[in-house]
Amino acid sequence: MPRKQNLMRADRLGYVVGGIALIVWALRRPTLLRTGVGGLGGWLLYQAYTGSNPMFRPLGIRVNPQPADPDVAETIVLDEAITISRPRSDVYAFWRRPEHLPTITEGDVEVTRDVEGEQIAWRAMRGARMLHFGALEFRDAPGGRGTIVAARLEYQPAGGSLGDALARISGRSPQRLLVDHLRRGRAILEAGEAPTTSGQPTGRR
């Protein structure tokens, strides 16, 4: 999978249309300003060609043009990991429970693979529509430091890469949900409870 790609097909199509429109507008009556705008159009075309918008790079957006699931044409991929100071069997048992799977959408969840102590994979569907699919892998952390849980999740964001970028900036993205989910799981496994402040007093009115 080419790692650098962070634009989805719909985004790239939009960039082509927009880029050509800007260039045509610039060529109709060239002025200094319009030439600059035409340059911007060229840059959009170049991004459509490479499939990568450098401004999205710091956000960690990654597109998989050939997802393993045949029902979807392309996905955005999340890879997150967390280390938990508990034996692998305990950590696996916790996430084996369907209500603990880090699903990021409402809808039906179907476990597609389950290798005891090693891996759990699932698909989330609403009717016939694929919402996301994901997998958790469990392995021993080095030096007896517990268990590493590696999560991979693939989904199709509303609004393509741009929509996903805006979601990440606003702090309400699938990436944030997944990380919060893993962190919450660690807190429950290690401390027996997840930290919270909801319900505490404040001077807000």
Partner 1 sequence: MRAVCWHDKLDLRVESVPEPRILNPRDAIVRVSATAICGSDLHLYGGFVPGMVKGDILGHEFMGEVVDLGPGVKNLSIGERVVVPFPIACGNCFFCRKAMFSLCENSNPNAAMAEKLWGYSPCGIYGYSHLLGGYAGGQAEYVRVPFADVGPLKVPAALSDEQVLFLSDILPTGYMAAENCSIQPGDTVAVWGCGPVGLFAIASAQLLGAERVIAIDRFPERLRLAATKLGADTIDYTEDNVTEALKELTGGRGPDACIDAVGMEAHAHHSLAYAYDRMKQAMLLESDRPVALREAIMTCRSGGTISVAGVYGGMIDKFPAGALMNRSLTIRTGQTHVQRYMRPLLARIEKGEIDPSFIITHRMKLENAPLAYRMFRDKQDDCIKVVLTP
Token pair recorded at residue 121: 């994979």
In this structure, the chain runs to a length of 205
Closest distance to partner 1 from the beta carbon of 187 (Å): 4
Token pair recorded at residue 112: 């597609």
Cβ distance to partner 1 smaller for residue 70 or 192? 192
Closest distance to partner 1 from the beta carbon of 127 (Å): 32
- CA gap 104, 114 in Å, rounded: 19
Cβ distance to partner 1 smaller for residue 24 or 194? 194
Closest distance to partner 1 from the beta carbon of 63 (Å): 23
Strands 75-84, 108-115: parallel, antiparallel or unpaired by DSSP?
Answer: unpaired
Which residue, 180, 185, 176, 177, is CA-closest to 148? 185
Cβ distance to partner 1 smaller for residue 111 or 194? 194
94 in Cβ contact with 189 (< 8 Å): yes
- CA gap 144, 6 in Å, rounded: 37
Cβ distance to partner 1 smaller for residue 150 or 187? 187
Chain residues in the site for partner 1 (CB under 8 A)? 83, 85, 145-146, 171, 176, 179-180, 183, 186-187, 190-205
The secondary structure element, H or E, covering residue 7 is none
Closest distance to partner 1 from the beta carbon of 27 (Å): 42
